[in-house]
Structure 1
Amino acid sequence: MNSFTYTSATAVDAAVREKSTNSKAAFVAGGTNLLDLMKENVERPTRLIGLNKLSDLATIENNPEGGLRLGALATNADTAWHPEVEKRYPLLSQTILAGASPQLRNMATNGGNLMQRTRCYYFYDLATPCNKREPGSGCSALNGFNRIHAILGASEHCIATYPSDMAVALAALEATVRVSGPQGERTIAFADFHRLPGDHPEIDNTLETGELITALDLPAQGFEKNFTYLKLRDRTSYAFAVVSVAVGLELEGNVIKEARIALGGVAHKPWRVVAVEETLRGATATEDNFREAATALLRDAQGYGSNNFKIELAKRAVVRALKQATEMNQPLDANAFLNSNP
């Protein structure tokens, strides 16, 4: 790990100002991903700007649109167990509790969760080419061992996946990211926050220089009655998703009035296709309709050898998740989830 200096910010504008004037500075809160990257010399900031004294960013409260505002510095654990999140957004609570370990959730923050980087083996291995780590060097995963890699939205420059569980639920809920930067405050639709790799896989998101995530806004609709998060992984705890599916449904009898489907573990960002969701509106909640939706959702999927199996796995996961969400008739208790579906 390279040497660095540390300062503790006491105000958002001061933190933004310091970051915007130092291209080698980095914000740090829980540090659950950044410190690993620094230890491996993947990231080498010369200055860390600590955010944990910005207590105003650690609150969870109602927002003006009738939804909930999650402070960027609220921990994943505090968010998952918050009474309003459990009651109104159980999909988000369930999704957070499916990620990492209790110890990490106690440290990791909501803003930091969005900023975590890929767990591609080659990204962490400095001895191998990686366009995300060193633009123009090549992508070792394309012809290498790519079992965990993308099947949607990839490019010839990068087939890495984005690892967050929480973000898959935020995509399905259509959250909004609030940021503060040198030009003031602005909001970013969650669908626009993370980028596909394209020609610049080294750029993970659409934040401008110096911008800091301050909060996440959840809309009023939380799909508290019919929802599920299905996470398929190699072991039942402390593992990233091979494929995951977040589903929120609004049902009227057996008719689907609203549908949201977001995939994790398959692309450079949480994957949604709004046009596919629209085909389910007004349709009956049947397995045949779910299969059609799954096929359409994965129509453009492409495997790269070791990950070919993920295409069929993702289709089956979508069908299973939609069935699970349809069969629910009340919010799932988080303790029950931890005991029955780790």
Structure 2
Amino acid sequence: MRAFAYSRADSVDHAAHRITHDAAFVAGGTTLLDLIKLDVLKPKNVVDINALPLKRVERLDDGRLRIGALVTNTDLAHHPEVKRHYPLLSQALLAGASTQLRNMATTAGNVMQRTRCPYYRDAAAACNRREPGSGCDARGGLNRLNAVLGGSDACVAVHPSDMCVAMAAIGATLTLSSADGEREVAFGDFHRLPGDTPHIEHDLADGELITAITLEPPLAPAGSYYLKLRDRASYEFALASAAAQLSLDGEMIGEARVALGGVGTKPWRCPDAEAALVGQPAQIATFERAAEIALRDATPLEHNAFKIPLARQSIVRALREATRLARDEGKQEGQV
């Protein structure tokens, strides 16, 4: 592992002044330290931000939920506000990693999580995301785990986060802070498609850090469900996952939100599939049409064509379970 300078920041402004193009923030360190050891990331300076006051979860007057950047995945998954009003997020968090990692990993760190593409993590392989212009060994290599949505000739790496799939479905805003102040970015606009510049993964400028993520008001009454399909039952990244939320008006779908994981180069919201659900009967045929729409632009590689029917299945199953839960909640509130 290469040597680097280490310092601690005691305020957001202090942290913003410490960060440069050759520096990195560390909180839980569950991704950063691994990649430094692999010689994939080579920061000259590492700034510890654990002392910053960014560990609160608070309900805002407009019904949204503001989550501090340093709230751990464990604390967020078990927070009463999240379990009650955003069960989709709690389910996704608990489906990811292991208990030990969730105890360390932070909300902002999860948003910034790097791909698990083996070619990105192998310093000897060609990877445009790690080394622009070097090529993409994944396209002609073992690409079973790579993306079928959002890829390009330059990169087909999958975004690995479960939490981000749920946040994409819920809808959220990121607060980015720098020495010049704050700005807000819609969650769906933060992660970038690879295109010709896969090394530019997100809309975070030099000198900025994520200080909060604010979730949109919850659907109510609604059902939500996160389904993760993987090679083994625990501590494994998704082959395909689906986050589904919907509200019912009788037997018709009032609102719907759907996002996919394990198949896209970013957390993959499915607005066309959502539009196909609204105003339609909550039944399997409706869910299957929406799933077809969600995957209609999927482009398989040599080894990952199976992900397309798998992702369709995950959408149908997640919508089916979300509908069941929406009916149960509606009965409890006397609205169905």
TM-score, with structure 1 as normaliser: 0.94
Instruction: Report the secondary structure of 1:260's partner residue.
Output: strand
- 1:210 offset after TM fit, Å? 1.2
- The 5 A counterparts of 1:231-250 are 231-250=228-247
Alignment counterpart, residue 272 of structure 1, candidates 261, 269, 273:
269
Of 31, 34, 38, which aligns to 1:33?
31
Q: Distance in 2 between matches of 1:172 and 1:184?
A: 28
Letter in 1 for 2:303: S
Matched, 1:181 2:188: no
User: Could you give the per-residue CA deviations for residues 121-175 of structure 1, whole angstroms, max 9, x where no partner exists?
Assistant: 0111111111111110100010100001000110000000000000000000001
Distance 1:32 1:331 in 2: 38
Aligned to 1:44: 42
After superposition, where does 1:201-280 map in structure 2 within 5 Å?
Answer: 201-222=198-219, 225-280=222-277
Output aligned runs, 1:113-192, within 5 Å.
113-192=110-189
CA contact (8 A) 2:231 2:239 kept: yes
Amino acid at match of 1:139: C
Q: Residue 182 and residue 330 in structure 1: after superposition, are their counterparts in 2 closer, same or farther (change >3 A)?
A: farther
CA-to-aligned-CA distance 1:298-333 (integer Å, 9 cap, x gap)? 00101111001111111111111111111114899x
Work out the CA distance in 2 between the residues paired with 1:290 and 1:110. 31
Q: Deviations over 1:177-208 (max 9, x none)?
A: 11102331011100001011000001110111
CA contact (8 A) 1:62 1:69 kept: yes
Instruction: Return the alpha-carbon distance in structure 2 between the equivalents of residues 64 and 111 of structure 1.
Output: 23
Question: % of aligned pairs identical?
Answer: 53
Distance 1:52 1:287, change over 3 A: same
Alpha-carbon distance between aligned partners in 1 of 2:253 and 2:219, rounded to the nearest angstrom: 15
Measured in 1, the distance between the counterparts of 2:323 and 2:174 equals 29
Does the CA-based 8 Å contact 2:272-2:293 persist in structure 1? no
**Corresponding residue for 2:14?**
14
The structure 1 residue matched to 2:51, chosen from 29, 53, 58, is 53
Structure 2 residue identity aligned to 1:52: N
Q: 1:42 to 1:225 in 2, by over 3 A?
A: same
How far apart, in 1, do the equivalents of 2:67 and 2:145 lie?
30
After superposition, what is the alpha-carbon deviation per residue over 1:231-288, rounded to whole angstroms, capped at 9, x for unaligned? Answer: 0001111100010000011112211000000000111111113122112111111111
Report if aligned partners of 1:67, 1:220 keep a CA contact under 8 Å in 2.
yes
1:309 is matched with which residue?
306
Instruction: Show the counterpart of 1:327.
Output: 324
1:169 touches 1:246 (CA, 8 Å); kept in 2? yes
Residue number among 192, 199, 210 corresponding to 2:196 in the alignment: 199
Match of 1:89 in 2: 86
Is the CA contact (8 Å cut-off) linking 2:10 and 2:51 kept in structure 1?
A: yes
Distance 1:133 1:187, change over 3 A: same
Asked if the contact 1:89/1:224 (under 8 Å) is kept, the reply is no
Aligned residue pairs total 329
Question: RMSD of the alignment, in Å?
Answer: 1.3
What is the DSSP-based 3-state SS (H/G/I as helix, E as strand, rest coil) of the residue aligned with 1:123?
Answer: coil
Question: Relative to 1, partners in 2 of residues 1:162 and 1:36: Cα closer, same or farther, differing over 3 Å?
Answer: same
Q: Give the ranges of 4+ consecutive aligned residues of structure 1 lying more than 3 Å apart after TM superposition.
A: 222-225, 329-332
Counterpart AA for 2:28: G
Counterpart CA distance in 1 for 2:216 and 2:124 is 44
**TM-score scaled by length of structure 2:** 0.95
User: Quick one: which amino acid aligns to residue 80 of structure 1?
Assistant: A
- Deviation, 1:57, is 0.5
Q: Distance in 2 between matches of 1:10 and 1:40?
A: 29
